[in-house]
Amino acid sequence: MAKRRKVGNMLALAILANLLAKPMHPYEMAATLRERGKDQDMPIKWGSLYTVVGNLEKHGFIRAVQSERQGLRPERTIYEITEAGRAELTDWLREIVGVAEREIPRFEAGLSLLGVLPPDEVVALLEQRLADLTEQLATAEAALRSAPVPRIFLLEGEYDLAVRRAEADWIEGLLGELRDGTLPGAKQWREWHENGADPSQLLSLMGELTAEGGPEA
């Protein structure tokens, strides 16, 4: 099970990793993270950067080492990672890589409520998603092939590609079942929408589908 972190924002993880290279002020941290495309690898809320930096300092993971001023710009505080910060960074990374934590993406949440939409609309939406995925995959594959860096620095991109390829394959299979009507429960789902999608009939529909998919079906 994942630990409860004193500073659990994923931006904190990226900041700690960046400060391993050298001390930086928050503006430089943000510029470096953007330059390295880290906002593509993890959910980063740039508006909370200074709050995260403040929390890291509060818990002793980073410390201010000096302040500098350039011209009329506001004074900037430069931070460095502490030994406690190094320990937190390595422990956090070990947990992320080694612990299989259940994560629920938005798409999965949407699939759990798919019956609200009519079957034909779902088919159209999934076809649209599959087309978008196919285009994204082609772009990402080309970017990986042309990247002028060793593969060790591209592993997160490879993983993302593998996950999205698996999603595209699964959607393609589901579309086949929806189109030919072989998806269990599809008939009742379609009839419910054709009869007005009366919410009061949902429970009986669910009971019907459960019985159909049960061990005695």
- Say how far residue 13 (Cα) sits from the centre of its chain: 15
Last residue of a domain, one of 54, 71, 98: 98
Q: What is the pLDDT of residue 104?
A: 79
pLDDT of residue 216: 40
Asked whether residue 5 is domain-assigned, the answer is: no
For residue 112, the model assigns a pLDDT of 86
Which residue type occupies 169? D
Chain centroid to CA 156: how far?
Answer: 12
In angstroms, rounded to a whole number, what is the distance separating the alpha carbons of residues 173 and 164?
14
- In 10 A of CB 178, how many CB atoms? 19
| Closest to 9 measured CA to CA, from 45, 34, 38 | 45
Classify residue 178: in a domain, yes or no. Answer: yes
The residues of the chain scoring below 70 in pLDDT are: 39-44, 46, 68-74, 202-203, 206-217
Residues 173 and 121 in one domain: yes
**Domain boundary residue, one of 75, 98, 121:** 98
pLDDT computed for residue 73 by the predictor: 64
Same structural domain, 119 and 163: yes
- Model pTM score: 0.74
* Structural domain count, the chain: 2
Which stretch of DSSP H or E encloses residue 81?
strand 76-81
pLDDT of residue 209: 65
Angle at Cα 14 formed by Cα 166 and Cα 31, nearest 5°?
A: 105
Domain range for 21: 10-98
